[in-house]
Amino acid sequence: DAGVIQSPRHEVTEMGQEVTLRCKPISGHNSLFWYRQTMMRGLELLIYFNNNVPIDDSGMPEDRFSAKMPNASFSTLKIQPSEPRDSAVYFCASSHGLAGTLRTVSYEQYFGPGTRLTVT
């Protein structure tokens, strides 16, 4: 089975441009997470979806960031306009999740290879 697929793997853009990162989760997983990783701040959760519905976007830095999940097999993270401080590696991860039930153990999150974004 294919793992989580992210595209592009590398993106270099100029400040002010729109950037769209794409993610295809593992088939059958119903939770999807977007993370950002930098040396200074480590791995930060930006937003996560359960059954295609955004559950918590409190980690989204500001209105320039938006994420969508139009169906169970595709999600996008968009930055408009991009700024140099957005430079980071962006990861998408997916996992099983039991919507509507209390659970006691976290499910394993499967991470994609990441998109390295450089904004100049």
Partner 1 sequence: TQLLEQSPQFLSIQEGENLTVYCNSSSVFSSLQWYRQEPGEGPVLLVTVVTGGEVKKLKRLTFQFGDARKDSSLHITAAQPGDTGLYLCAGDPVNTGTASKLTFGTGTRLQVTL
Binding residues for partner 1 (CB under 8 A): 4, 31, 35, 42-45, 48, 50, 55-56, 91, 93, 95, 97-109, 111-114
Q: How far is the CB of 16 from partner 1 (least distance, A)?
A: 28
C-beta closer to partner 1: residue 24 or 97: 97
Q: How many residues does the chain have?
A: 120
Strands (E), the chain: 5-7, 10-13, 19-24, 31-38, 42-50, 53-56, 65-71, 74-79, 88-95, 110-111, 115-119
C-beta closer to partner 1: residue 15 or 43: 43
C-beta closer to partner 1: residue 81 or 98: 98
Q: How far is the CB of 63 from partner 1 (least distance, A)?
A: 21
Q: Is 32 helix (H, G, I), strand (E, B) or coil?
A: strand
Q: How far is the CB of 55 from partner 1 (least distance, A)?
A: 6
Contacts of residue 10, defined as CB under 8 A and 6 or more positions apart, other chains included, come to 115, 116, 118
